[in-house]
């Protein structure tokens, strides 16, 4: 599965035989188009909400595999809706689909509990791909959003000698993290155990002084590693 204009980062794996998706957007024509795209991709659209309060209520009632929500929602903002859904179900998988490329909006959405942030001009097949990735436990960002994160991240050197003291193998792992590989995929690519990968990831986060894989991915992009 390839999403060419998306950057995704592994979180906790989750599998489903059939994906059940809840749509939350106040534009009926957009919902209709997205509904047809997802159904054509084999997903079940189990509900549609036209405002934030409805999104929260339906998420609790239907427990979809993925909630796809806009930021600009009547009655209750998308951000607050995400907070309430995650408070009721910490394992909820939520993908924001919006027009805002503002890094601050993306950061707030991810901090509220969303696992993905996509722009509405993302290609239809890539939206479907991203929803499947989100359901499988990945975090997903539009490439433009990642670029916005990079633009607001303090500058790093452009060559490897400006990086912290990462070993050659740690650099290999970091590049794979930035490519969106999860621990199992990194282990297969480098012929090492998942346990060893976890230790490398821990070391990388400590050395880069970051707290998440997506921050490490931003670092790798800024440093010219990918």
What is the per-residue pLDDT across 51-67, written as a single tens digit (0 to 9) for each?
999 999 999 999 999 99
What is the per-residue pLDDT across 118-147, written as a single tens digit (0 to 9) for each?
999 988 988 998 899 888 877 788 877 776
What are the start-end ranges of the E strands in the chain? 6-10, 20-24, 44-49, 66-69, 94-98, 116-119, 138-142
Domain boundaries defined on the chain: 6-150, 156-222
Q: Is it the case that residue 74 has pLDDT exceeding 60?
A: yes
**Quick one: pLDDT at residue 165?**
84
How far apart CA 20 and CA 125 sit, in angstroms, is: 17
Rg (CA), the chain: 18
**Quick one: pLDDT at residue 120?**
93
Q: What is the CATH number of domain 156-222?
A: 1.10.10.10
Q: What is the DSSP string of 17-35?
A: SS-EEEEE-S-HHHHHHHH
Count of positions (residues) in the chain = 226
The residue ranking higher by pLDDT, 180 or 148, is: 148
Q: Which residues of 100-132 are buried (b: 16+ CB within 10 A; e: fewer)?
A: beebebbebbbebbbbbbbbeebeeebbbbbbb
The CATH superfamily of 6-150 is: Response regulator (3.40.50.2300)
- Structure pTM? 0.70
**Quick one: pLDDT at residue 13?**
40
Q: Is it the case that residue 6 has pLDDT exceeding 90?
A: no
On the question of a common fold for 6-150 and 156-222, the answer reads no
**Quick one: pLDDT at residue 178?**
75
Strand partners, 67: 22, 94
Q: Is it the case that residue 28 has pLDDT exceeding 60?
A: yes
């Amino acid at each position: 599965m390839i999403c060419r204009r998306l950057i995704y980062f592994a979180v906790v794996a989750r599998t489903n035989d059939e994906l059940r998706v809840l749509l939350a957007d106040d534009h009926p024509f957009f919902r209709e188009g997205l509904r047809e795209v997802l159904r054509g991709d084999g997903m079940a659209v189990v509900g549609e909400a036209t405002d934030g309060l409805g999104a929260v209520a339906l998420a609790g009632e239907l427990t979809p595999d993925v909630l796809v929500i806009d930021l600009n929602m009547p009655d209750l903002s998308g951000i607050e809706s995400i907070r309430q859904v995650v408070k009721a179900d910490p394992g909820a998988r939520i993908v924001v689909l919006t027009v805002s490329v503002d890094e601050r909006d993306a950061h707030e959405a991810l901090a509220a509990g969303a696992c993905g942030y996509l722009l509405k001009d993302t290609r239809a097949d890539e939206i479907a791909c991203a929803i499947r990735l989100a359901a499988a436990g990945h975090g997903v960002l539009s490439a433009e959003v990642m670029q916005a994160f990079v633009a607001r991240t303090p500058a790093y050197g452009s060559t490897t000698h400006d990086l912290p003291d990462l070993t050659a193998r740690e650099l290999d792992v970091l590049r794979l993290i930035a490519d969106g590989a999860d621990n199992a995929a990194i282990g297969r690519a480098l012929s090492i155990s998942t346990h060893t990968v976890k230790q490398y990831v821990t070391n990388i986060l400590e050395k880069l002084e970051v707290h998440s894989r997506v921050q490490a991915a931003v670092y790798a992009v800024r440093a010219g590693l990918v």
